[in-house]
Amino acid sequence: MKLHLWKSSLLIITALIFSIFLSCTEDSVTEPGDAEGTILIRLTDAPFPIDLIDEANVIITKIEIRRATEDAGRPFITLSEDTVKFNLLELQNDVTEDLVEIDIPIGSYNLVRLYVSEANILLKDGSEFVMKVPSGAQTGIKIFIEPAIEVVGGLTSELLLDFDVSKSFVVQGNPNTPAGINGFIFTPVIRAVNMSTAGRITGVVTDNASTVLENAAVWVEQDSVVSTTFTGTNGYYALIGVLTGNYSVYTTKADHDTVSASGLEVVAGNETQQDFELTPKQ
């Protein structure tokens, strides 16, 4: 998860991709005379597909970015040490949240390190499950940027972190049985997208009576699933942060057939539109 619930893709908040970082020396100081450009990091979510869940929150305490070429063994720059909390379920279908916008030395950057101190799930019945993330708070979670993002003087370079909630919060128990959900395991999965090399796919899903369909699953594939999302109340979907290339897009909903469109071309900075009509199963 490309401020952008049954899955998907948050572009946000994702998606969430990763392994735990080894500790590295920080470099939060810009040397006098260094040329600078601006980096903007946004958060989005590839939405959570469990109807019983009201909130999926993460608390982020620190953000760092790594130079693609090491600088005397000090490749990391601290971008933020503010503690912020996000409900990732609010980040879907074009909705994003700005994490940080800051000037840093120009150059190439290929990895973000995200420090997450806590994650929690709030069910619609009021039950809450809190998950501590000791390693994520101490050494951070690494998110590779492929291709690397270039920070250029006088311009803003945009990076999207797509947090896949459905993969990051692993349900313990069976919500379809009387015992229900008895917990969650937090295994963050995040996709980092250089937005200068990405576009988006948008559209509306209806049935064969032209009625818009809410909560229809939509996903994009290129050899494997790249990003997923679900339609909103107006049948609209948006898959943001899709790298330039040709893709197939699929959509389905309970009691409906699966429909696909292949050969969709995504161009950096552009929007590719693809509407779908689903036929109810007989």
Q: Is 90 helix (H, G, I), strand (E, B) or coil?
A: helix
**Structure-token match 């490309």, residue found:** 2
pLDDT in tens, 35-66: 888 888 877 765 554 567 888 899 999 999 99
CA-CA distance, 227 to 54, in Å (whole number)?
22
Q: Are residues 88 and 132 in the same domain?
A: yes
Q: How many domains does the chain fold into?
A: 2
Percent of the chain with pLDDT strictly greater than 70? 82
**Residue 264, burial from CB neighbour count under 10 angstroms (0-12, 13-18, 19+):** middle
Examine the fold and report which residue of 165, 196, 227 is the final residue of a domain before the chain moves on.
196
Look at residues 174, 196, 218 and tell me which one is the last residue of a structural domain. Answer: 196
Query: Are residues 189 and 255 both part of a single domain?
Result: no
Cα gap 134→154, rounded to integer Å: 38
- Which residue is listed with tokens 């057939």? 257
**15: Cβ contacts below 8 Å, ≥ 6 apart:** 1, 9, 45, 46, 162, 163, 164, 165, 167, 168, 188, 189, 190, 191
Q: Is residue 14 part of a domain?
A: no
Q: Please write down the long-range contacts of 172-177, taking CB distance under 8 Å and 24 or more positions apart.
A: 175/50, 175/52
Positive or negative, the Cα torsion across 6, 12, 15, 16?
negative
User: What CATH number is given to the structural domain containing 237?
Assistant: 2.60.40.10
Tell me the residue range of the domain where 185 lies: 19-196
Tens-digit pLDDT profile for residues 141-195? 999 998 899 999 988 999 999 888 777 888 888 776 667 788 888 888 888 998 9
CB 1 within 8 A of CB 93: no
pTM, full prediction: 0.73
Q: Verify that 167 and 264 share a domain, yes or no.
A: no
